[in-house]
Amino acid sequence: MNREDGFPQDFIWGCSTSCYQIEGAAKEDGKGISIWDTFAHTPDKVLSNHTGDIACDSYHRWKEDIALLRELNAGAYRFSVSWTRIQPEGKGAPNQKGLDYYSRLVDGLCEAGVEPWLELFHWDLPQALEEKGGWRNRDTAMRFEEYAGIMYDHIGDRVGHWTSMNEPWCAAFLGHLTGEHAPGLRDRRAANRAVHHLLLAHGLATRAFRRSGIKGEYGLVINPSKPRPATLRPEDAEASERASIERTSLWLDPIFGRSYPRVFMDIFGSDMPIEAGDMDIISEPLDFIGVNYYDEEAVRAAPCSTQNPYGFEFVPTYQKKTDMGWEIEPSGLRRILSYIANVWPCKKIYVTENGAAFPDKQDADGIVRDYDRIDYIKGHANACGDAIKQGVPLKGYFLWSLIDNFEWSFGYNRAFGIVAVDRNTLERRPKLSFYYYRDLIAGFGL
């Protein structure tokens, strides 16, 4: 049947999650400790001292999650693999029980007609590698290549879409500069070294994928941002460009073989542990770019200083905000997609995450009537349609998230799911947005 909303028939509508946020079973079946296990168990790092020890218990309830995806008629499910389930110490022979879990999950998805999109790394670095310097240490990139190879060997025949890692900006800067995420460091040089080694790991894993001969598409998922300029003044337009460097061009320039942005290198070049040949590895061609988009801010020019190396400041805006304090601006999704498509032309772009946290309330009849979330999804789906009309090669949209889960330093205090998870019983209960998304997938949501 043809879609009513004009989206291409082969446009992929999916849902995203990540392992630490949903799996639980933190010590089961030989799983090792990751930096997020350590961080969440350190007092006062996570709101309410929540941890991912149980999370949504998807390690045991994965069949329930697949049943939800099937009910939605989702085309794809983007999930991440826990490195420490596969290599508890981040190196050496794989843990068969960990491999079996992802094998079961992939087979279950395929049987349900939901395409598995496998992501190798969503921030949960093995603690054993952190103790040797984590992403500050070049060897971690080699260990990542080894781990990726294990996954290609064991599951490559059944997975057609792969991504190396999610939002390396967060792993580098929230993990090493602001300390909000694991491993919780506050050290600019460490963050810059992490940038290079994350990208090197990505490049090595991509190259290994190509050499494996697996038939499938390979990409990187970033969370780009280009705040809009507050005025039409040229200095504010330039501030908007500079404000986008660390979230956008720092990742896309090297991936596209243009090395690191000059402005970044002028300021931080001496921190960057680049060795001969690295930039070639990092720019191994990709099949697609994954874009995670949640909000758009506005900036104006400000004096450069050590604290403000790029010379911009955020200005007040009028938009409503989500429970994360993020501004709701659907047209910003069209803008960032067009910006990327124009500056870094690639064959395919996917929105690999988009969604909103709201303070959901369960009514007396047990139903969560999350009309704010429905409006949010509808606005952003429309923006995807607008981007396609403008010529962006946008091929799919993944909602964050299928179920309420562990939202990093906010613990379970922020809810992004279209399905609520009862924290006592772990029972899954679809919110109204679940039924809205089902209609959207069927072509009737706009």
**Residue placing its CB nearer to ligand IFM in the complex, 140 or 292:** 292
CB of 9 to ligand IFM, least distance (A): 28
Biggest distance spanned by C-alpha atoms of the chain: 64
- Minimum distance of ligand IFM from residue 284's CB (angstroms): 24
Find out whether 395 and 350 touch, Cβ atoms under 8 Å: yes
Residue 77 or residue 416: which is nearer to ligand IFM going by CB?
416
Which residue's CB is nearer to ligand IFM, number 164 or number 283? 164
Applying CB under 6 A, which residues contact ligand IFM? 18, 21, 167, 292, 353, 400, 407, 416
Catalytic, out of 167, 296, 297, 407: 167
Residue whose CB is less far from ligand IFM, 144 or 400 = 400
Q: Which is nearer to ligand IFM, 19 or 66 (CB)?
A: 19
378: buried, middle or exposed (CB in 10 Å: 19+, 13-18, 0-12)?
Answer: middle
From the CB of 124, what's the least distance to ligand IFM, in Å? 10
Of 374 and 415, which CB lies nearer to ligand IFM in the complex structure? 415
The minimum distance between CB 166 and ligand IFM, in angstroms, equals 6
CB of 262 to ligand IFM, least distance (A): 28
**Which of 23, 145, 241, 353 is labelled catalytic?**
353
The tokens describing 106, both together, are 């992939």
Q: Left if phi > 0, otherwise alpha if psi is -120 to 50, otherwise beta: which for 77? A: beta
Residues 6+ apart with CB under 8 A from 394: 11, 337, 349, 350, 351, 384, 387, 388
Nearest distance from residue 234's CB to ligand IFM, in Å? 33
Cβ 227 to ligand IFM shortest distance, Å: 17
The yes-or-no answer on residue 353 being catalytic is yes
Q: Is 130 labeled as catalytic in the residue annotation? A: no
Question: What are the distances in angstroms from CA 392 to CA 330, 351, 434?
Answer: 16, 12, 27
- The two tokens of residue 213 are 């001969």
Choose between 283 and 292: whose C-beta lies nearer to ligand IFM.
292
Q: Which residues are catalytic?
A: 167, 353
